[in-house]
Chain A
Amino acid sequence: MELPVREARLSTLPWAVSTMCRNAPRRVWGRLRGNSAALRARAADAAGSDGTGIAEQLVMVTSAVSRQADGIAVAAPPGLTPARRQVRVPAAAFGVASVAGMVLAWWAISASGAVPRDLLPSPADVWAAGAEILRDGYRGTTLWGNALSTLGRLGAGFGLAVLAGVPLGLWMGVNRVTAAALDWIVQFMRPLPPLSYMILLILWLGTGNGSKAALLFLTAFPIIVAASAAGVRGVKQQRIQAARALGAGPAQVFRHVVLPSAAPMVLTGLQVALAAAFSTVVSAELLAATDGLGWMVISASHFLRNDVIVLCILVLGGLGVTLAWLMRVLDRRLVHWRGRD
């Protein structure tokens, strides 16, 4: 081990790491842990005891490890203790268990009578409320009808925000003048609580679906624009230059370099925006609504119908989780190259 350590330092580091990864599969690393004291001693020895940096040590360790790993591939040398076998429990089981535990705890608390029922309805109360609403509806509306009208408003508001926000954001990303002209507006809109301009939207657009969809649009729009613009700005200049050097025109650069590189960021923006818009649906239906899940939960709040409130929370939460999951599926489909930059 007489490598010229200091010269090797920076130039060899990427090489060292890649060699290491290529040569040592994950399970081998686990096995090596037991032997690490010896490795460290070796590395320290090679690098000198005067406290030279981690880079030098890395190089040492890498070569040492590589050799050891090669050895293991043939036959595990003595002295390397195999990793302790663990009983594999699928992670999902923990999820199911924790949800079940929560429901059980909820049931136990309400059954024990420790918390009065008007503070916390029991699972049975919520179940009964759900059955009743599915059978008779809630104040002349059905649960499905309410869910559909809420989703319709969300779809309209969010859909328009995507249609308008993504192109605008991309444009702001490639065009400095557009960005400078519009960025301050987006920056100003982004932190505004949607409820602050709800009353204005009702004044301008009436109490119908228009003002409600507009509120959701305005919640999602600045997030989408900002993310799309940031996605374009984050594209590596070398790539653009390389494409141009290869003779690509502006349209080709945009289509084949900028768009694919910006897409992961845009999609992330869409996910954040959808979550933000979803969490605004109740605000949208706070004033002068006649249907929707938000209207339902607010109406139940007026009458302190805690069972209906909890039911609405469960439905809203379930819908939110489903929408977020759909967005993730879409994300994986559309930008399967995410993270492989």
Chain B
Amino acid sequence: MNNVKLTRRGALLGAGAGVLAARTVRAAAPPGVNIGFFTETKPTMVAKNLGWFEEGAGAKLSWTEMGSGADINTAITAGSCDIGLATGSVATAAGISQGLPFQLVGIVDNIGPGEDMTVRTAANIKSPADFKGKKVATPFGSTSHFRLLGFLKTNGLTQRDVTVLDMKAAAIQAAWSRGEIDAAYVWPPARSKIAENGGTPFKTWDTLEKAGYVIADLIVVRTAFAQQYPDAVVGFLKAYDRALAMWQDKPEEAALIVAKEAGVTPAVATADMKEYDFVPFSQQAGPQWLGAPGTPGKFASVLKNTADFLVEQRSIRNAPGLDAFQKAINTEFIRKAVG
């Protein structure tokens, strides 16, 4: 509790990072780590279930399930969350633009085809123009919402042509089974459930990705925490790397654990995980992704584009220059984790 207070005051002073770095001594193991996470079908759940994260961080972890990446931003700002696991790139871009006290330390997955449009088969939607007058649901503020808005924009549709509804994944499933929405842009398992229930996939991700609407799930760490306990962060990342290796080497075994954590069948877990592109840490320090000191990767500009779009949507007030995003990316930890 004291710890939280201290760091929050740091944030309040607006110079949290500098002040704390000067004041705090690097310590090997934190007394406890607050993790914000989502229950989902990803290898992260393997490391959670088997206690690898705990082992890697060398501390007791307290897991708080969050409703959205925005919740993780809020919790980090308030000092109640140290590591945000698999938070969306949209929330992260917004947070960096607002100068929230966190660093982007790694990528869990490039969402790619993982989140995409599902249309009601009976609604007879074959082309983007068919969306006119239809109701499309998505959780606002999410990566899916960002993609959906990108889809509308690239196809010359406005929110006057298409009714875009803000709904949580569970509400989407409920409304879908009542036949009230014609399409939904959402992630698994809601996505697979509505697809089974009279839905047809409507592929948008490939063209959108080419148009710059790249979305990813990221690991963010509260700046003060990263400076105080770098070893814990490296250990945490190592644990995820180990889980990812397990998913690649022994997919059945990994899927079994993930299924147990997420409350789905192993078959569903496997199918879901195959949709995501889990980028290994060894590649992330390359120019394609996060880059290295001196050679910034492409991902900073993905975040910058995302932030610009959010400004256009008037979700955030303004977006800083590219360098702010490059500065918010810290690859020191993944390099140590793989090296």
Contacts and interface: CB of A to CB of B under 8 A. Distances in A.
Given A118-B177, A207-B75, A288-B36, 7 more contacts: A199-B74, A202-B75, A206-B8, A206-B75, A207-B80, A288-B81, A304-B173
Given A118-B177, A288-B36, A288-B71, A205 B63 contact: no
A289 B64 CA distance: 7
A201 to B, nearest CB: 9
Contacts of A287: 67, 71, 74
A208 B80 contact: yes
B62 interface: yes
18 contacts: A118-B177, A202-B80, A203-B77, A205-B78, A206-B4, A206-B8, A207-B74, A207-B75, A207-B80, A208-B4, A288-B65, A288-B66, A288-B74, A288-B75, A290-B62, A290-B64, A302-B168, A304-B170
Contact of A204 (B78, B169, B177): B78
Given A290-B64, A299-B65, A203 B170 contact: no
A199 to B, nearest CB: 6
A268 to B, nearest CB: 36
A45 B263 CA distance: 84
Interface residues on B, range: 20 to 34
B78 A301 contact: no
Interface string B150-184: 00000000000000000011100110010000000
A205 B67 CA distance: 18
Interface of A: 118, 199, 202-208, 211, 286-290, 299, 301-304
Contacts of B64: 207, 288-290
A302 B62 contact: no
A304 B67 contact: no
Contacts of A286: 67
A198 B8 CA distance: 18
Contact of A206 (B36, B63, B66, B79): B79
A207 B78 contact: yes
Contacts of A299: 65
Nearest to B72: A288
B78 A202 contact: yes
A290 B74 CA distance: 16
A288 B62 CA distance: 12
Contacts of B81: 207, 288
Contacts of B173: 304
Contacts of B263: 303
B78 A203 contact: yes
Interface string B70-112: 0100110111110000000000000000000000000000000
Contacts of A303: 170, 263
Contacts, number: 56
A301 B81 CA distance: 24
The 9 closest A-B pairs by CB, nearest first: A206-B80, A207-B80, A206-B78, A207-B75, A302-B170, A290-B64, A203-B78, A288-B71, A202-B74
A337 B279 CA distance: 73
A205 B63 CA distance: 18
Nearest to B63: A290
Nearest to A204: B78
A1 to B, nearest CB: 73
Contacts of A289: 64
A211 B1 CA distance: 13
Contact of B74 (A203, A208, A304): A203
Contacts of B67: 286-288
Nearest to B4: A206
A290 B177 CA distance: 29
Contacts of A290: 62-65
A206 B7 CA distance: 11
Contacts of B169: 302
Most chain B CB within 10 A, of A288, A290, A299, is at A288
A207 B35 CA distance: 12
A299 to B, nearest CB: 7
Nearest to B177: A118
A203 B74 CA distance: 6
A287 B8 CA distance: 19
A205 B65 CA distance: 18
A289 to B, nearest CB: 8
A299 B66 CA distance: 10
A303 B1 CA distance: 32
Interface in B319-338: none
Most chain A CB within 10 A, of B64, B77, B168, is at B64
A203 B168 CA distance: 22
A211 B74 CA distance: 12
Nearest to A304: B170
Nearest to B62: A290
Nearest to B173: A304
A208 B3 CA distance: 13
Nearest to B73: A203
Interface in B20-63: 36, 62-63
B14 to A, nearest CB: 14
A205 B177 CA distance: 39
A206 B1 CA distance: 10
A37 to B, nearest CB: 61
A301 B169 CA distance: 10
Nearest to B1: A208
A211 B64 CA distance: 15
A331 to B, nearest CB: 36
Nearest to A306: B174
A302 B169 CA distance: 7
A203 B169 CA distance: 25
Interface string B135-148: 00000000000000
